Copies of this chain bind each other. A is one copy, B any other.
């Protein structure tokens, strides 16, 4: 199958076998890799939103693994949530933000209703 689907994703990477309890250095290393990837990304408390053509999203996460291994982590485990859709075009870089916006619009109507 040739076509590269547009992927809206989120991932949480964990280094294994490092004596350090903190994973902040490894997460920072991932952010540096993502900055070079050219993809839209945004860190949150338990992972990082990431989106773009599937192959590039996958490659960016792969490169995070490689970079974290290079810092000394013998093993790396990641949880990825990844979604695709064919019902409509997602303007590049607007997949994750668009989802938040639509939910906020619905909740804003609750507040309007409550004020009347």
Q: Is the CB of B27 within 8 A of A66?
A: no
Q: Is the CB of A12 within 8 A of B14?
A: no
Q: Is the CB of B83 within 8 A of A80?
A: no
Q: Is the CB of A107 within 8 A of B28?
A: yes
Q: Is the interface of A mostly helix, strand, loop or mixed?
A: mixed
Given A18-B17, A75-B83, answer yes or no on A103-B31 (Cβ-Cβ < 8 Å). yes
What are the residues of chain B within 8 A of A77 when measuring CB–CB? 14, 81-83
A40-76 to B contact mask, C-beta < 8 Å, 1/0: 0011111101000011001101110111010000111
Q: Is the CB of A106 within 8 A of B3?
A: no
CA distance A15 to B21 in the complex (A): 10
What are the residues of chain B within 8 A of A9 when measuring CB–CB? 46
- The 7 tightest CB contacts between A and B, nearest first, are A45-B96, A10-B46, A17-B21, A74-B87, A58-B58, A28-B106, A24-B102
Q: A9-B46, A54-B65, A76-B84 are in contact. List 10 more A-B contacts (CB 8 A).
A: A10-B12, A16-B16, A21-B75, A21-B87, A31-B107, A44-B96, A46-B83, A74-B86, A80-B80, A80-B81
